[in-house]
Amino acid sequence: MEIFKSKNGVSVRAYKGDAMTLLAFDVSAALKKNLAGFSIQYRFKDGAHWLEPYVYNRLKFPAGFFTNNPGIPFEDRNSTLYSPIQKFNWVHVPNTNINTALPVFGDYTYKITPRYLKDGILLPPDDNLTVAVKINVSPFDMKKTKLGFSRGFVSSVAYAKRFDVNKNNVRPKQGDDLLFDITQKAGTANRWNETTRQYVPTDYSFEEQHKWLGWQARERVLEFLEEAVNDAGISVKAFAYDLNEPEISKRLLQLAAENRLTIFLDDAGSHGKAGSMENSFETRFKQQAADNTKIYRGHFTALGHSKVFIHIKNNKAVKVLTGSTNFSTNGLYINSNHVLVFNDKKVAQLYADVFDASFGTTAMKSFKGSAFSTTDHAFTAATLPKMTISFAPHPKADAQRIFDRINKRILKSGNTDLLFAIMIDTSKSSILDAVQEQVRNNNVFTYGITDRISDNANYSVFLYKPNAKRGVRVAARGIENTLPKPFGQVAGIDGYAIHHKFVVVNFKGTDPVVYCGSSNLAFGPEQSNGDNLLEIHDKDIVTAFAIEALRLVDHFHWRNNELKDIEELQLDDLSGSTYKWYNAWFAADDLKCRQRKLYIKA
């Protein structure tokens, strides 16, 4: 879903994502002179009250600006009313209710106003240039499909403002209890108290930490399991790779005790070693389950890498959850990940049939080469997103066929854009080769993130460079964690920051598509791992994944630059003789100009 509005040379396009909104804005060339940025105000209903705050900007103008513009309350200096956003897009995440700590969903009206500086004075907002767009902000739920993204922001100022920056562990350090109590204290952070009007040391629990970090991915996983727990007629079939998240494990074990769980749990590598959480789960399962033969520990040639739950009712599959998210504290609270839920019997039955064809040593050994691994399973019903699902491990010829098809789609002539978030993008793979090729292509807008960048010069990191149209490709690890003012110290990342494996092609072009799921998109693993790869041709779903890529790249991108010699990052007050922040956004040979035009166009 997207909404477009324009007035008097100002244009705004709002895109619905999964519990977030991408706002893109533009001004005509006649309105760019002395442009100080954009104020963003939004109106929403929280309970019985309508609120109309401004977006908060962590950057503000130099101190001299506030001398020239007296009367601005100190506590409002970071409001975009006085510190406008100096870019042409913004991803907004809904407010949190101060009493319930829950996100406030519903219809939001965003008001975007270009702001201007004249002789160092910020001119008042001009209502004639204000454009308002109204869009629903809520979890993604369309065409029998729900999405969920983890927040993936342990290493962020937003995390540091809520939690102890020196304690980024998401489970107790002492002991190896699989089912630890999430209501116990996780740390203490200085938080603003509205009553005392000062920062007060405040204890927080693992549960609070998990809800914030796990965001919508955690919600989708737990509500899927809760539905089964609360309906005695539902049983669950599960593929699990990592399994140590306590609330997930508790619900699975409850289902096992009621003879309503059958689970394929990976035992490769550390998962099969003494002391592993997966072994702990197996022990508890066999102690509690009504039928302890309903757990199978195994792996394919390499890994049992899928992350899948299936609802079974009246001996028929009715709903399935899949994606890149491991059912672990790292998977939900450290990694950036995605979850997809399909409330469709045919899709769910396909996953259930694949599960049955994999459960047990004999079945697992014969899976590769079966119809499940050699067939592209297509869904074209109008009630569903148009998509194709493939299941690994594949014979080499089938892996090659699938990779060649995706390679050609990524490199197809006429593509407008490529956006991606991939854990490792330097593996042997014609898919990943195509991604790398497009990053170097000046004719396609590319914006992507990987967890780490190889030292190999052929895979060097690509960052934004002024006066260049070459795409952006950044790393999430190896970034700066001690940042200039006003950001300061943020937590280091323990484990992968980017665990996604998705590629978006033509978010703003013809036949938009996203490739996602548990597959690492690497040629060898696709022949040896149990995995599933989804190819989804649906504009709304593609848009949600595109916003996720933009969110992550924008979060990590600037931190890949050398910032140690910068005392404080500030807004451009336009006092420089030649440099103006907006120049790049209107320079035809600059990536930022391409980004501005791409996001605003129909």
Q: Distance (Å, rounded) from C-alpha 118 to C-alpha 591?
A: 28
Q: Distance (Å, rounded) from C-alpha 309 to C-alpha 293?
A: 18
Would you list the domain boundaries of the chain? Answer: 2-138, 218-369, 391-600
Section 119-148 average pLDDT? 97
DSSP string, 68-94: HSTT--GGGTTBTTTS-B-SSEEEE--
Pairing of strands 261-266, 295-298: parallel
Q: If pLDDT is split at 50, 70 and 90, which confidence band does 100 have?
A: confident
Q: Measuring CA to CA, which residue among 220, 218, 215, 266 is closest to residue 240?
A: 266
> Above pLDDT 70, what percent of the chain?
93
Asked if residue 155 lies in contact with residue 487, where contact means CB atoms within 8 angstroms, the answer is: no
Q: Distance (Å, rounded) from C-alpha 309 to C-alpha 341?
A: 9
Handedness of CA 438, 442, 444, 450 (dihedral sign): positive
Q: Distance (Å, rounded) from C-alpha 530 to C-alpha 51?
A: 49
User: pLDDT for 167-196, tens place per residue?
Assistant: 778 999 866 699 999 999 999 988 877 677
User: pLDDT for 39-72, tens place per residue?
Assistant: 999 999 998 999 999 999 989 999 899 998 998 9
Overall fold of domain 2-138? Immunoglobulin-like (2.60.40)
Handedness of CA 222, 227, 230, 232 (dihedral sign): negative
The four Cα atoms 221, 225, 227, 232 give a dihedral, to 10 degrees, of 170
Poorest-pLDDT segment among 154-163, 277-286, 587-596:
154-163
Q: Which of the four CATH numbers 3.40.50.300, 3.30.870.10, 3.30.465.10, 3.40.50.10540 does domain 218-369 have?
A: 3.30.870.10
Q: Distance (Å, rounded) from C-alpha 4 to C-alpha 121?
A: 31
Helix, strand, coil shares of the chain, percent, nearest 5, are: 30, 30, 40
75 pLDDT above the threshold of 90: no
| DSSP structural state of residue 290 | S
User: pLDDT for 483-517, tens place per residue?
Assistant: 665 666 666 666 678 899 999 999 999 999 999 99
221 pLDDT above the threshold of 90: yes
Q: Distance (Å, rounded) from C-alpha 287 to C-alpha 144?
A: 37
pLDDT at 114: 98
- Identity (one letter) of the amino acid at 69? N
Instruction: Using DSSP, state whether 51 is helix, strand or coil.
Output: strand
DSSP string, 175-206: S--TT--TTSEEEEEEEEETTTTEEEEEEEEH
Same fold, 2-138 and 218-369: no
Q: Which two tokens stand for residue 152?
A: 């993936």
Q: pTM for this structure?
A: 0.95
Q: Distance (Å, rounded) from C-alpha 171 to C-alpha 177?
A: 9
Provide φ and ψ at 5, rounded to 5°: -140, 150
Q: Is the backbone peptide bond immediately before 73 cis, with ω within 30 degrees of 0?
A: no
pLDDT at 488: 65
Q: If pLDDT is split at 50, 70 and 90, which confidence band does 562 have?
A: low
- Identity (one letter) of the amino acid at 186? A
Q: Does domain 391-600 have CATH number 3.30.870.10?
A: yes
Q: Measuring CA to CA, which residue among 602, 435, 413 is closest to residue 508?
A: 602
Poorest-pLDDT segment among 230-239, 380-389, 453-462, 553-562:
453-462
